[in-house]
Amino acid sequence: MRSHDAADCCADAVTGLAEAVLSEIADLLDQFAASGAQSSIDLSGLPMTDADREKLAQRLGRGEVQATLDVAGQTDVWETQYAGVWWVRHFGGNGQVISEEIAITHVPAILLTHREDARAAAERLRKACEVLEATTAADQSSAERDSIHA
């Protein structure tokens, strides 16, 4: 029998929620496979214990893709061993998990580059090129000058 001593007695209790979530994921994956309907489950909104979460993570396992993002703190994304089932874990500023979801999709939105970001990046790249051209031009002319002097 487990003792009641630990103050956080229930962090390691298994409630059976992992199994429930698992079967919901299976349903959603069926739909995604059949019609391409994407969906997600907010894990942070469920009263899961740490043990439940651990169990679910174990059941789902890890698949081919893993990514670490550095977006206002860390975010971990991985595809589980079931293709199309992704785990997205957002960390806050102090390394605490602030939001966690299962996404049933081709690829989680957070991984995609937004067009607006691309536009801003293009601008920046343009500027960088201009700067580069300008500096190369300057380098060249100074090199020419040097060779004349030589």
Binding site for other proteins (CB under 8 A): 4-11, 39-42, 44-45, 47, 69, 71-73, 75, 88, 90, 92-94, 96, 98-101, 103, 109-110, 114, 116-117, 120
Rank residues 61 and 92 by Cβ distance to other proteins and give the closer one.
92
Q: Which is nearer to other proteins, 50 or 144 (CB)?
A: 50
Least distance (Å) between residue 95 CB and other proteins? 9
The nearest distance, CB 104 to other proteins, in angstroms, is 10
Of 19 and 101, which has the nearer Cβ to other proteins?
A: 101
Q: What is the CA radius of gyration of the chain?
A: 25
Give the residue from 9, 31, 29 showing the smallest Cα distance to 21. 29
Q: Which is nearer to other proteins, 113 or 147 (CB)?
A: 113
State the DSSP H helix or E strand holding residue 78, giving kind and residue range, or none if neither: strand 74-79
Query: 63-91 as b/e, with b when 16 or more CB fall inside 10 Å?
Result: beeeeebeeeeebebbbbeeebbbbbbbb
In the complex, the smallest distance separating the C-beta of residue 113 from other proteins, rounded to whole angstroms, is 8
Shortest distance, CB of residue 21 to other proteins, whole angstroms? 13
Residue 41 contacts by C-beta under 8 Å, 6 or more apart in sequence? 21, 24, 25, 28, 101, 102
CB of 109 to other proteins, least distance (A): 6
Kindly tell me which of 27 and 139 has the beta carbon lying closer to other proteins.
27
Count Cα atoms within 13 angstroms, Cβ side, for 95: 0
**Which phi and psi (to 5°) does residue 69 adopt?**
-110, 150
